[in-house]
Chains A and B, each alone.
Chain A
Amino acid sequence: MADIRNYTLNFGPQHPAAHGVLRMVLELDGEVVVRADPHIGLLHRATEKLAENKTWVQSVPYMDRLDYVSMMCNEHGYCMAIEKLLGIEVPIRAQYIRVMFDEITRILNHLLWVGTHGLDVGAMTMVLYAFREREDLVDVYEAVSGARMHAAYYRPGGVYRDLPDRMPQYKESKWKSAAEVKSLNDIRSGSLLDFLEDFVTRFPKLLDEYETLLTDNRIWKQRLVDVGIVSPERAMQLGFTGPMLRGSGVAWDLRKKQPYEVYDRLDFDIPVGVTGDSYDRYLVRMEEMRQSNRILRQCIDWLRNDSAKGAGPVISDNHKVAPPPREGMKSNMEELIHHFKLCTEGIHVPEGEAYAAVEHPKGEFGIYAISDGANKPYRLKIRPPGYVHLSAMNEMAKGHMLADVVAIVGTMDIVFGEIDR
C-alpha cells in the first residue's frame, strides 16, 4: 500500500483571507485539518515597550493603531485605566460622548467584519454595502477629531473637545458630479448630531437589507452553520469574551454586568447565541448593530437636550491632568504654569496598579497599568481580545475542511494590529 503522509500547507502571510499578516501552518490529511499552528508577530511593534518610554498622554494615539478598525474603543480602555489610577471623575457630557463614539465604533467594526467575512466565504457584494455606511461614520470621526481613522479623540479626564456644529463638506471633483455632491452635502448641512440622527434613522432599514442578502442565503448558511462550534464551557476555558462568548450562549457583556460611563442609564439588550457556531456569532453581531443603533439614538437625544441647556464641560477641570482652556492660559499665571508642566513633563500618575476593561466590539479589551509615580507608565499590558480568540484556532479548526479555516478566521473577527501589538 502506498505511503500516505499528511500535507503541510502555509496559509498566509500574504493570503487575502488571512485578515492581515497571519501565517498559519496547517497540517492536512487530504482536505481535513489535523493541526493549525498560527504564527503571529509579523506586525509586532512593541507598543507596550514604547508606552513605557512615553508620557501617559503621548501613548493615546498608539492605542488607535492597535485594533485599527475600532480605534476609539481602544483609547477608551486606556483612558479609563489612567483615570482609575488618578481617581478623577469624567464630566457627564464627556461620558455620553464617549459612549456614543464607542457605539459608532462598534457599528464601524461590525460593518467591516460582515463585509470581509462575506468576502472570505464568497459573498462579494456585502463589502460594498458595508463600506457605503462606514463612509458616513468615518465622516463623523473626521468631524469630531480631524482624522478619519486614528482619531486620538479621548483624553484622560474626558474628550479632547466638544462636538462640532458643522460637518465636513464634499467638493465637486472629476469623480463626483455637482448633483452627487449636493445630495451628499444636504444631509451634512446641519450639526454632527443632526447628521448622526439622520444616519440612525436610515440604518435599521439598511441592516434589513444586509440581512436579506445573507441571513437566509443558502450558500451563506452552508458555509457557516455548524462550523467552528464552541460549547459554553470551552468558550470560558479558552478565555473568550464579547460576541465569541455570547455566540456560545453565555450572557456576558461588560456594559451590563460591570457598567462603566453611562451604560447603566441606557436601555439596550444583549443578544445571545444558542449553538455556538459561526452562524450564531453572525446573528449576534448583526443584532448588536441594532442595539448600538438604539444606544446611539438615546445618546443623541441626551446630548441635544444638554446642548440646548448650555453644554457642560467635556474634560475634567483638574489642571494637573487636563490642560486649561486657551483663554485662561493667556490671562492667568497659574494656568500657564499648568499648561507648561503638562506639555513638557506630562501627568504624574500616583503609584499603584489598575486594570480597566471595556466591552470592545471584539470582546474584552483591557489595560493593566502599573505606575511607580513617574510621568510615564512603569508597565502597560494590553489585553487584546483577538489574541485570545486566535489562540483557540487549533481547537476550532481541527477536523474541519481547509475551506472552513477561512470561515473560522472570518468569524473570529481578528485584526493584527491588536494581536501583534
Chain B
Amino acid sequence: MSAKLETLSQNLQKHLGERIKGQKIAFGEVTIEVDVADYLGAMRTLRDEPELRFEELIDLCGVDYSSYGSAAWPGRRFAAVSHLLSIANNWRLRVRCYAPEDDFPVVPSLTEIWSSVNWFEREAFDLYGIVFSGHNDLRRILTDYGFIGHPFRKDFPISGTVEMRYDPDQQRVIYQPVTIEPREVTPRIVREATYGDVENG
C-alpha cells in the first residue's frame, strides 16, 4: 500500500472512527461503508475536514445486489455508492451506504453537501427506485415520461415490459406488452475463484 493510501486511511480512522462500518483497500482504492444514520454527518466531515477535504462528488450510483455471485446475497439489496475526489489532497474515496429496507429503500440525500449529486440521485431513483429523503426535486430523469418500474433492478427484464407501435386502426402510437422472446446469446457463468487468475490459472 502506498504512503498516500496509508495517510488517507489513518485520517479516515481519526475523523470518522466508529462511523466506519467496513473498510477495504483494493486496486489502490479505499472503500468505506457507513450506516444510514451516520451517512449525512460522515459525508459532511469528509467534505469539511482539512485532512480529508473531498471537495468534489464525482459520481453516485445505485447498485442492486440481489443476484450477486452464485449464492444468495446475504446483506441488504440496495446500496448508494458514491465516489469522492479531493483536489487539494489528490485522493479518491468510495463510500457505500446500504438502504435499510429492501421493499422501500430510503437513503438520505446529499444535495445539501454537494450540488453535483442532484442528477445522480434522480438517476438512482429513476433506475433503482432508491428514494433519497430530503431531495427537493426527485423526478425521473432518464426514462420516458410516464414510465412504470425501475429498469435497472435485476428483476426487470432487459427487453422491458411494453413496446410502442403505430396502430393504423386507431391512427396513433400505442403501447402494448412486449412481443419479443427473451434470449441469451452467451450465458452468465461464475467460475471458481482461481479461474481467471493470471498467476495460478
Contacts and interface: CB of A to CB of B under 8 A. Distances in A.
Contacts of B59: 355, 366, 368, 381, 383
Interface stretch (B6-14, B98-106, B163-171, B186-194): B186-194
A420 interface: yes
A354 B56 CA distance: 19
B61 interface: yes
A368 B119 CA distance: 17
Contacts of B83: 355, 366, 368, 383
A239 B186 contact: no
Interface in A1-58: 40-41, 44, 46, 48-50, 53-55, 58
B151 A236 contact: no
Counting chain B CB atoms within 10 Å of each CB, the highest count among A58, A237, A241 belongs to A237
Given A236-B55, A239-B58, A391-B119, A372 B69 contact: yes
A121 interface: no
Interface residues of A, number: 64
Contacts of B184: 53
Contacts of B29: 354-355
A348 B195 contact: yes
Interface string A294-308: 000000000000000
Contacts of A239: 56-58, 114-117
B22 to A, nearest CB: 13
Interface in A313-369: 318, 320-321, 344-355, 357, 364, 366, 368
Contact of A44 (B57, B117, B142): B142
Nearest to B54: A236
Contacts of B190: 372-374
A41 B69 contact: no
A366 B58 CA distance: 9
B37 interface: no
B75 to A, nearest CB: 13
B122 to A, nearest CB: 9
A237 B115 contact: yes
A5 B31 CA distance: 50
Nearest to B88: A236
A50 B158 contact: yes
A406 interface: no
Interface string A232-250: 0010111111000000001
A166 B28 CA distance: 41
A258 B69 contact: no
B189 A345 contact: yes
Nearest to A316: B198
Contact of A86 (B94, B141, B196): B196
Contacts, number: 134
A388 interface: yes
B114 A258 contact: no
B155 interface: no
A177 to B, nearest CB: 46
A364 B141 CA distance: 21
B34 interface: no
Contacts of A388: 116, 119
A278 interface: no
B61 to A, nearest CB: 4
B26 to A, nearest CB: 6
A409 to B, nearest CB: 16
A376 interface: yes
B118 interface: yes
Nearest to A374: B190
A370 interface: yes
A250 B61 contact: no
Contact of B63 (A237, A318, A346, A370): A370
Contact of B68 (A234, A238, A372): A372
B197 interface: yes
Interface in B82-118: 83, 87, 90, 92, 94, 114-118
A24 B68 CA distance: 38
B146 interface: no
A44 B189 CA distance: 28
B27 A354 contact: yes
A237 B114 CA distance: 6
B5 to A, nearest CB: 13
B120 to A, nearest CB: 8
B96 to A, nearest CB: 9
Contacts of A351: 69, 193
Contacts of A241: 56, 58
Contacts of A372: 68-69, 190
B196 A391 contact: no
18 contacts: A40-B141, A49-B152, A53-B184, A88-B198, A236-B55, A236-B87, A348-B189, A348-B191, A348-B195, A349-B196, A350-B193, A352-B27, A353-B31, A355-B92, A368-B81, A379-B63, A383-B59, A390-B119
Given A353-B26, A379-B63, A387-B119, 17 more contacts: A41-B140, A46-B152, A53-B158, A54-B186, A87-B198, A237-B116, A239-B56, A239-B114, A318-B198, A320-B201, A321-B198, A348-B189, A351-B69, A366-B59, A375-B186, A378-B68, A388-B116
Interface of B: 26-27, 29, 31, 55-59, 61, 63-64, 68-69, 81, 83, 87, 90, 92, 94, 114-119, 140-144, 151-152, 158, 184, 186, 188-191, 193, 195-198, 201
A-B pairs with the 6 shortest C-beta distances? A239-B116, A348-B196, A41-B142, A391-B119, A381-B61, A383-B59
